[in-house]
Each structure stands twice: as structure tokens, then as C-alpha cells.
Amino acid sequence: MIQFPEKLKPLFTPCRYKELHGGRGGTKSWGVARALLLQGREKPLRILCAREFQNSIKDSVLKLLGDQVEAMGLGNFYEVQTQAIKGANGTEFAFEGLRQNITRIKSYEAVDRVWIEEAQTVSKNSWDILIPTIRKEGSEIWLTWNPEFEDDETYRRFILHPPKNCVHIEMNWRDNPWFPAVLEQEKEELRLRDPDSYDHVWEGKCRQWLEGAIYARELRKAYEEKRITTVAYDPELAVYTSWDLGHTDDTAIWWYQVIAGEIHVLECYASSGGSLSEYASQIAGREVQIDLVGEDVVAKVGKKIEGLGRRRQYKYKRHWLPHDAKAKTLAAKGKSIIQQLASATGLENLAIVPDIGVEDGIQAARMMFGRCWFDEQGCDPGLKALRRYQREKQQDDRSYKKIPKHDWTSHYADAFRMLAVATQNEVKPPETKKPTGTEVRGLPSGLISVGRLEDLYREQESNRRHARI
């Protein structure tokens, strides 16, 4: 007889959404694995097992499912392969990461079940793409997770504003009839040592602040002083940007103004694997297409981008880039990133942030925090990242490593560090010279500021209209 927690019986009743949340030791993942394997044995199902970050199959739930195949005596029915699990009746389990493969997820529209493990990490963008993709008649989306923060997208979407046709199951250690003695001891030790962490880890309650968070104190004070609010753009003053350049991961940008010694942070942006065209478009608020033809950089300015209207009004004074923007690459024919941005986009006043080291940069950010006002809506993803930016614990579980943990939060945090260092080490930007042998065709001679991209767009539109007459 196959054992199954009584509380998880609703998993076998058809429903569009089935979310299971709670702390450690509640058999959430164990129960879902068993339920999906049993359902896949009854009839052919195509099942996608996904999580926000999956760099390799080792990061998936394949091993958990494989262990349950053996434990339930289903080895004669299921074949556990290195990248998939296949049933004798055609049932198939596939495994994907959402963040890096979100466009590929669109090919899974015919799946019957989606299981999102560690759903607390799933971004708004991933949910917005995944949910309408899963549209097969009778398809279901299952979530297992331990809520992290109340402002997480998953918490907002499934707890604060839950969809219709959703089964909610809270599973904690008390609901596990097979709760092991070794975990009982671990649970009690954490309760006595760190009650706040205990509430999150074992009781499934949202965290107030992430353990080891670097900017926890500064952000807490900013919330208390109501400096995270609605921040208006002042059209009379210049706008600055600060960047962190990602080569194989995210590039992040912050927009801000300096007003009477205060720093008004207007918005932020991050994208993985973007091109110069994408970054120029984000700065301009219009579609900018950059092409390299021989030694010439050809730029075309297109239509407005919805939701970025304010950026078309910005009068930029300086764009602050990290020191690695000076590095020249063979792929770009010996041009540095700062040279490429200048020649391709016409950005003026590009400057390099002084390289003072990560730890000194963090201290600069901490010192600057008290002067910062954040637009809550425009800076939402960046504030979430700063709130979660943390140091990892040492193996002794008592102290923290000096180098911050590198994950999705790092890029927003590094770009914010550039902002802090730039404001404390204001230097004149180097003179922007036209790269030898490089011509920006279709643009006025020399380099142009993004503020003139509107003029260029109107010129191009006028030329097209006259061509049709």
C-alpha cells in the first residue's frame, strides 16, 4: 500500500491551481512527487517540472521523483533517465529553468501538469509568460514553496490576491505523520537559538528581513522614514544612470537625479543576454536597432516603447559604467564596451566609476542610503534585490563570508554600488572621441545625446513619408 498524507488528497481533485506552502519537513515536495507519479500511471500525461533557476539537471527535482519511483515500487512502469522520466503508457516528465529558458517554455503549451518547485523565487515576468502558455484543456499548475517576503510576486499572486479555481494547502511539520526525530532536534535547536528564523524555516511564515542581508538596516530605516514612496521626475534637472554590465548574466541600470544633496532614484532595469540595441532602447524609451556593417555602426530609431514614456523626456548628464567597460574584445573588433556604446548609440558623457573594490563600494552605498529617496513602483525589482542581497554563512554556520553571494540580486546591487561610488567620487568624464574608422550612418555628424533621438525619429519618419509621396 502506497502511503500518502491525508491533507494532500485535494491533489487528486481537478483544479486549475494547486498551491502548497509551508515550512520545512511538511512533505510538500514528497507528496506532490507521489501524486504526479500516481496520476501519470493512470493515464498518459505530459508533466513539466520547473523552477525559476535551473542551471543543470542537478538543480531539478528529477532525483526526488526517481527516489519516489523506487520507494513506491514503480520501477517496472517508469524509466528514470538522465534528463527525463518516461512511463510505459507515454507519460513523460521534463525539467526546465524558467529564468534562462522562458522563451523555450512557450513550446510546452500542450502539457497537462506544471509543477513549480521553490515557487517563491518565480518572477513576475516568468509568471506572466508561463500561465497563458499552459492552456491545454484540463491543464493544471502546481506550486510548492515556503513564502519568503510578502512583497514577492508569488505571494501577491496566490496568497494576497489568489486566482479563482485554486486549492490552498498549508503544510508544516505538524502535518507530517512521518516527521523524523533528527529533524525534531534540528527544529528545536533553531527555535531556541533564532526564533525569527524558526518561524520562517519551520512554520512557513514570511521573513521580515533576510538573514545576512547586507543592506537590511539601511532599507529598514528607509521604510520607517517613508523614503520609499512616489518620487517625481524634475524636468529642470539632469538625470544620471549607473550600470552593472553582465556578459553571461544580467545587465542592470539605475536612473536617478541629485537634488539639493538628496538622491532621487527614479527607476531601474535588468535584463539577461541583452544587446546594445536593447540597452540603447531602454535609455531612449524608443526602439533602437544597432547594426555593424563592416566598420560602420548603423543605428535606426523606431517607435515608442510602451511604459517608458518618461525616459524620452530625460535630459541625461552622465552615464556611469563599471571599470570593465574599458576592456577591449576581439568579438567587437578591438573596441571596448564604452567605445561601442558611444559609437552605436550616440550616448554622450560616458564615464567610468573609480574601481575601489566591492567592500569599499558597499560601505559607500551604506553611507549614501540616508540621502536616497526611491520611487516605489519604478524601483520595485531593484528594491527587492537590495533587500535580498546577502552574504553566505561559513561552514560553521556562525559567521558570514566576506564576499557577497552571487545570484540574481548581485547585478542590481552592483549597479547601485556604482551609483554610490559615482556620487562620492564625482570626476569629469573623459572626452568622447569618435572612434577611428567608425561612422554612425544616418545620424548627425559626431555623437548625439539620447535627448536628440526624438529629433532623429521625426527626421526618419519625415523621410519615409516623402518617399511614399
Same domain, 287 and 313: yes
Same domain, 183 and 282: no
Give the model's confidence band at 452: pLDDT under 50 very low, under 70 low, under 90 confident, else very high.
Answer: very low
For 109-126, the pLDDT digits (tens) are 889 999 999 999 898 888
For 362-380, the pLDDT digits (tens) are 999 999 999 999 999 999 9
Same domain, 353 and 413: yes
Same domain, 283 and 324: yes
Q: What is the CATH number of the domain that holds 98?
A: 3.40.50.300
Among candidate residues 166, 201, 236, the one where a domain is terminated:
201
Return the pLDDT at 458: 57
Same domain, 191 and 314: no
Average predicted confidence (pLDDT) for the chain: 82
pLDDT at 261 over 60: yes
210 in a structural domain:
no
Among candidate residues 145, 177, 201, the one where a domain is terminated:
201
Give the model's confidence band at 248: pLDDT under 50 very low, under 70 low, under 90 confident, else very high.
Answer: low
pLDDT at 431 over 50: no
For 288-297, the pLDDT digits (tens) are 776 666 666 5
Domain count, the chain: 2
Q: What is the CATH number of the domain that holds 270?
A: 3.30.420.280
Return the pLDDT at 430: 43
388 in a structural domain:
yes
Same domain, 447 and 346: yes
pTM (two decimals): 0.59
Same domain, 109 and 24: yes
Return the pLDDT at 70: 94
Give the model's confidence band at 451: pLDDT under 50 very low, under 70 low, under 90 confident, else very high.
Answer: very low
pLDDT at 429 over 50: no
Among candidate residues 201, 231, 253, the one where a domain is terminated:
201
68 in a structural domain:
yes
61 in a structural domain:
yes
The parent domain of residue 428 ranges over: 216-463
3-state secondary structure the chain: CCCCCHHHHHHHCCCCEEEEECCCCCCHHHHHHHHHHHHHHHCCCEEEEEECCCCCHHHCCHHHHHHHHHHCCCCCCEEECCCCEEECCCCEEEEEEHHHHHHHHHHHCCCCEEEEECHHHCCHHHHHHHHHHCCCCCCEEEEEECCCCCCCHHHHHHHHCCCCCEEEEECCHHHCCCCCHHHHHHHHHHHHHCHHHHHHHCCCCCCCCCCCECCHHHHHHHHHCCCEECCCCCCCCCEEEEEECCCCCEEEEEEEEEECCEEEEEEEEEEECCCHHHHHHHHHCEEEEEEEECCEEEEEEEEECCCCHHHHHCCEEEEEECHHHHCECCCCCCCEHHHHHHHHHCCCCEEECCCCCHHHHHHHHHHHHHHEEEECCCCHHHHHHHHHCEEEECCCCCCEEEEECCCCHHHHHHHHHHHHHHHHCCCCCCCCCCCCCCCEECCCCCCCCHHHHHHHHHHHHHHHHHHHC
For 82-115, the pLDDT digits (tens) are 999 999 999 999 998 887 776 677 778 889 999 9
Same domain, 457 and 348: yes
Give the model's confidence band at 455: pLDDT under 50 very low, under 70 low, under 90 confident, else very high.
Answer: low
Return the pLDDT at 441: 33
221 in a structural domain:
yes
Return the pLDDT at 438: 36
Same domain, 176 and 319: no
Give the model's confidence band at 41: pLDDT under 50 very low, under 70 low, under 90 confident, else very high.
Answer: very high
Give the model's confidence band at 338: pLDDT under 50 very low, under 70 low, under 90 confident, else very high.
Answer: confident
Return the pLDDT at 448: 34
206 in a structural domain:
no
Give the model's confidence band at 299: pLDDT under 50 very low, under 70 low, under 90 confident, else very high.
Answer: low
Same domain, 71 and 122: yes
Question: For the residues 12-27, what does the mean pLDDT come to?
Answer: 94
Same domain, 145 and 246: no
Give the model's confidence band at 328: pLDDT under 50 very low, under 70 low, under 90 confident, else very high.
Answer: low
pLDDT at 262 over 50: yes
pLDDT at 432 over 50: no
Same domain, 42 and 111: yes
Return the pLDDT at 425: 59
211 in a structural domain:
no
Give the model's confidence band at 342: pLDDT under 50 very low, under 70 low, under 90 confident, else very high.
Answer: low
208 in a structural domain:
no
